[in-house]
Chains A and B, each alone.
Chain A
C-alpha cells in the first residue's frame, strides 16, 4: 500500500458527510461539565478526533484509519496516542515504509521541535534495516552506502541545517550512529559542524560521544595519542575565539575524566603559550574560561605533586578571588565556593 503525501480523502468535506465513514459512530470527547482549561477546538479538529477515538476503540486496522491519523498528526504532532496507533497501522497494513519516512520528513519540516516523530522514525528504520543483521553482515563503508542509512543522514543534514542545535536531531543522530555502528564518518561530520560554528556545543558534545563510541565513560580508557590530538584540536579552536566556552569545557572535561595528568603536562603549556603570544594575550586573559581552566589544572597538578602543591593551590585561589571580584562577578558565588574548596584541600 502507498502512503500518499497529499491526503486522498478530501479535507473540506466533513467525515460525517462522507460515504466511506457512514458505518462509524464518532465518540465525542468527554470533558465533563465544567472542565478547566478547555480548548475551543475547531469543528474540523473536533470531528477528526471524534472519529479517531471511534476507530481506536474498535482497534480498526484500515487504510482510512491510517489516513485519519495523518490528518490528526498534521494538526497536532504532539498527539502521541495517534502516533502509536499509526505505528501499528503501518505495521499491520504493511504500508510502504519509505513513503512513511517521507511523510514524517514533511511533518518534521513543519514541527522541528516535536518529540514523537523522531521516535516513530526509529521504529520505521529498524523495520527497513535490521540492526543486528546489518552490522553483522555489512562493513561500515557498505552501511554508509546503504540507501536506508543514506536517507537518514540526509534527513539529519537538512534538520541540522535548519537548526544546528536541534536537540532531538542530535539525539536521533546518536541513536543512528550507535545502532548501526557507523562511527568512522561521524568525526568528519562533527568537524564540519564545528567549522561552521565553533560555538555549536551540540557538535562538541558529539565529538566526545564519538570518542567514547557509546561506552560507559567511567570504564573507558582513551588512547593517549588520541587525547593529545584532541588537546591540539581544542587549542586550535580556542585560538579562533578564546571566549568560547565549548572547546574549554570539552577539553577540560575530557581530560579530567580520562587523562588528568595531561591537563598540566600538555594543555597547560599550550594555553600559556597562547596567553603570552601578543596576538592572543588580550583575548585569552580577558576570558573567564582561560582562568577557569587554570584553576582546574592547578588543582589537579597540586594533587599530583605535593612538593609544589601549596604554591599551586595559592595560585588557583588567587585566580578564584580575582574572578569573583573582578573578571566574572556574576559567578562570584561559585568562585568563592571553589576558593573555599581549594583551601580545604588535603594534599
Chain B
C-alpha cells in the first residue's frame, strides 16, 4: 500500500539554499498546508461510501468547466490560435475520460471544426489556412477518433497524410514538426500514432526512428527531445510510447529509465516533476505517471508485480492539489489557474493510476518486427481486473485510458477496425 504523507519526507536542503531549493521549499509549504488538513486517505483506498476527506473528484465542476470552453473561449486564448485542434482534443477527451455524454450534435460540431483544419496537401493545421503540423495532426485525428464514426474517419485523407508525413521525415529517423520547423522526438510520436491508427505504417516511414529515440536517452535515464538535451517527462512519454508502437522498447537502457521515472515522483508531494530538481506539476501525472504502464510491459512485469510508482500518492496529489474547486478544471499545482491542458493530463494521469493497464501475458504477441503486428499489439492493452487501486470513493473511477494513445479503449478499437479493413496504401505512394 501507499506510502503515506509525512513531514519526514520534506525536502532536505542541507542548510544550503539555492534558487532551486527555495522554490521547492515554498511549494512544499503550500502543499503541506493542504495535506495537513486531510484525513488519512489509506482507509479510503478501494472502499468507503462517503468521503469528506478532500479526495473527491469534482466531476460536475470539471464537466462544466470543459463544456464552457467548448461553448467559447475568451480573447486571451488567441495565444492558442495555432493550437485549435488541441483545444478540441483536450475538451472532448476530458469529457470522454470522465464518462460524460458527447451527444450527436457535439460530435457533428467537432467533425466540422476539425474538417477545416485539414490542409489540401495532407496533414492538419493549427487552424484553418495555417500550415500542416505534426502535433496539430495528432490532436485533430485523435479528436476524430473520439467522435468515432465513419463520417469522422472519412474526413481524413490518409494518402495525403502519408505523403505529407514522408516530407517531414528526416534521414536520421526524426520528423520535423512542420515544413521548416523544429525537429524532435514529439514528431516521431505523432507520426507513429497517426500511422498506426490509419494503417499507413510502412518501413520507409519508420526507418531509423527507434535509433533516433535511443540516442535521445540521456545518461540520467530519461529521454530528451534531441540527442544531448536534458531528459524531460513529455519527451520521455513520447519516446517510450513511439517505441512501444514500433515494438522496440528494448533499444533503451530500461533499468536506467526506470530509475529516472521513479525519481520524478516527489517524496513529499506524491505528484511528478518533469525533470530532475524541478517542481511538481499535475500534467506529469500523465507524461511520466502514464508511461509506467508502458515501462511495465517493456520490463516484462505483470499486474501482480505492481507498477513502479506509488499510485495512491499520485492520486492524492491530483485530487487534493490539482482540482480547482471554485472554477472547475484541473491545474499544475495549488495557486495556479486551471486550464484545458492540465484538466486533460491530470485526468488521464489519474485514470492510468487507478487502472492497471497491461497485456495479458498469455496473449502476448511476440512478433515485434513487422509493421503488420501493430494493430494487434496495440489492441492487446486492456485494464487488468484486480489491478484497480482507487483513492477515495469508488465513484472517483475514470474510464481506462490506453497508455500509448491517451484515449479510452472503445473508440480506439473502432478506429483501428475501420482503417485496417481498408486496403493498404500502395507502395508507390
**Could you list which residues of chain A lie within 8 angstroms of chain B, going by C-beta atoms?**
27, 29-42, 45, 49, 53, 56-57, 75-81, 84, 87, 115, 118-119, 123, 164-165, 167, 170-171, 174, 178, 196-202, 205, 208-209, 212, 214, 216-217, 240-246, 249-250, 253-254, 256-257, 283, 286-287, 292, 328-334, 337, 341
How would residues 2 to 13 of chain B score, 1 for a CB under 8 Å from any chain A CB and 0 otherwise?
A: 010000010111
B48 within 8 A of A: no
A79 touches B81 (CB 8 A): yes
26 contacting pairs across A/B (C-beta < 8 A): A30-B128, A34-B112, A36-B88, A36-B92, A37-B72, A39-B73, A39-B77, A39-B78, A76-B79, A76-B81, A78-B82, A80-B82, A80-B130, A119-B181, A165-B278, A171-B226, A244-B14, A246-B277, A253-B219, A257-B219, A283-B12, A286-B12, A287-B12, A330-B3, A333-B262, A337-B258
Contact of B112 among A33, A57, A164, A330 (CB under 8 A): A33
Question: How many angstroms from the CA of A257 to the CA of B214 in the assembled complex?
Answer: 14
Q: Are B78 and A36 in contact (CB under 8 A)?
A: no
Is B75 touching A39 in the complex (CB atoms < 8 A)? yes
Interface majority SS (helix, strand, loop, mixed), chain B: loop
Within the complex, what minimum Cβ distance (angstroms) separates A20 from chain B? 23
Interface set, chain B 209-256, CB cutoff 8 A to A? 215, 218-221, 225-232, 255-256
CA distance A253 to B3 in the complex (A): 28
Q: Is B371 an interface residue (CB 8 A)?
A: no
A-binding segment of B16-24, B343-351, B353-361: B16-24
User: Given contacts A36-B87, A56-B129, could you give 4 more A-B pairs where the C-beta distance is less than 8 Å?
Assistant: A32-B115, A41-B75, A328-B267, A331-B267
With a CB–CB cut-off of 8 A, which chain B residues contact A37? 69-70, 72-73, 84, 87-88, 91, 113
**Cα-based distance from A244 to B406 in the complex (angstroms):** 33
Which of A80, A196, A217, A256 has most B Cβ within 10 Å?
A80
Interface-lining segment among B31-39, B148-156, B305-313, B326-334 = B305-313
Q: Which residues of B contact A330 (CB under 8 A)?
A: 3, 9, 265-267, 270, 310, 313
C-alpha gap A240/B21 in the complex (Å) = 13
Cβ–Cβ contact B228 & A333, under 8 A? no
In angstroms, Cα B227 to Cα A173, docked, is 13
A29 to B12, CA, bound (A): 54
Docked Cα-Cα span, A191 to B3, in Å, equals 38
Query: Smallest CB–CB gap between B307 and chain A, Å?
Result: 6
Q: Are B308 and A334 touching (Cβ within 8 A)? A: yes
Query: Main SS of the interface on chain A?
Result: helix
Which residue of chain A is the closest to B219 with respect to CB atoms? A253
A49 to B276 alpha-carbon distance, docked (Å): 40
Chain B residues numbered 99-144 whose CB sits less than 8 Å from any CB in chain A: 106, 109-110, 112-113, 115-116, 125-131, 133
Task: Report chain A residues within 8 Å CB of B127.
Answer: 29
CB distance from A253 to the nearest CB of B (A): 3
Q: Which residues of A contact B218 (CB under 8 A)?
A: 205, 208, 253
**Given A75-B78, A216-B215, A249-B220, residue A40 in contact with residue B130 (CB < 8 A):** no
Q: Is B178 an interface residue (CB 8 A)?
A: yes
In-complex Cβ contact of B14 among A45, A200, A241 (8 A): A241
B88 close to A197 (CB less than 8 A): no
Q: Is the CB of A36 within 8 A of B219?
A: no
With CB as the reference atom, state the residue of chain A lying closest to B310. Answer: A330
B304 within 8 A of A: no
Known A-B contacts A35-B113, A78-B83; the reply to A84 vs B313 at CB < 8 A is: no
Known: A36-B88, A37-B91, A78-B79. A84 touches B180 (CB 8 A): yes
* Chain B residues, Cβ within 8 Å of A246: 276-277
Name the residue among A38, A216, A249 with the largest chain B CB count within 10 angstroms. A249
Q: How far is the CA of A212 from the CA of B218 in the complex (A)?
A: 12
Closest residue on chain A to residue B225 by CB atoms = A171
- When the two chains form their complex, are residues A76 and B78 in contact, meaning their CB atoms are under 8 A apart? yes
The residue in chain B whose Cβ has the minimal distance to the Cβ of A52 is: B129
Interface size on B, residues (CB 8 A): 87
A80 touches B18 (CB 8 A): no
Question: Is A199 a contact of B20 with CB atoms below 8 Å?
Answer: yes
* Interchain CB contact under 8 A, B131 and A40: no
Contact B275 A171 (CB under 8 A): no
The distance in angstroms between the C-alpha atoms of A118 and B183, with both chains bound, is: 12
**Option from B12, B229, B255, B277 in Cβ contact (under 8 Å) with A170:** B229
CB–CB A81/B82 < 8 A: yes
Chain A hits for B309, CB < 8 A: 331, 333-334
In order of increasing CB-CB distance, the 8 nearest A-B pairs are: A253-B219, A199-B20, A329-B3, A334-B262, A37-B87, A205-B230, A201-B276, A81-B130
B179 neighbours in A (Cβ, 8 Å) = 84
A33 to B108, CA, bound (A): 11
> For B81, what are the chain A residues with a Cβ–Cβ distance below 8 Å?
39, 41, 45, 49, 76, 78-79
Q: Is B26 an interface residue (CB 8 A)?
A: no
Which residues of chain A are near B363, meaning CB under 8 Å? none
Residues of chain B within 8 A of A76, CB atoms compared: 78-79, 81-82
Task: Mark interface residues in B252-285 (1 if CB within 8 Å of A CB, else 0).
Answer: 0001101110110111001000011110000000
B80 at the interface (CB under 8 A from A): yes
- Is the beta-carbon distance between A32 and B18 smaller than 8 angstroms? no
Q: Which residue of A lies closest to B72 (CB)?
A: A38
Give min CB distance, A113 to chain B, whole Å.
11
Alpha-carbon separation in the docked complex, A56 to B127 (Å): 14
Question: A77 — which chain B residues lie within 8 A by C-beta?
Answer: 79
Partner of B277, one of A53, A199, A214: A199
B301 → chain A closest CB, angstroms? 8
CA distance A209 to B129 in the complex (A): 40
Q: Is the CB of A81 within 8 A of B131?
A: yes
Q: Which residues of A contact B181 (CB under 8 A)?
A: 80, 84, 119
Contact partners of B20 in chain A: CB under 8 A: 197, 199-200
Chain A min CB distance to B239 (Å): 15
Q: Is the CB of A240 within 8 A of B226?
A: no
Please give, as numbers and ranges, the residues of chain B lying within 8 Å of A205 by CB-CB distance: 218, 220, 229-231
Are the C-beta atoms of A334 and B80 separated by less than 8 Å? no
Q: Is A201 within 8 A of B275, CB to CB?
A: yes
Contact A40 B74 (CB under 8 A): yes
A243 contacts B13, C-beta separation under 8 Å: yes
A171 — which chain B residues lie within 8 A by C-beta?
Answer: 225-226, 229
Q: Specify the chain A residue showing the minimal Cβ separation from B180.
A: A84
Checking A40, A53, A118, A216 against B73 with a beta-carbon cut-off of 8 angstroms, the contacting residue is A40
Decide if B204 is an interface residue (CB 8 Å cutoff). no
Q: A40-B73, A201-B277, A334-B309 are in contact. Are A53 and B129 (CB under 8 A)?
A: yes
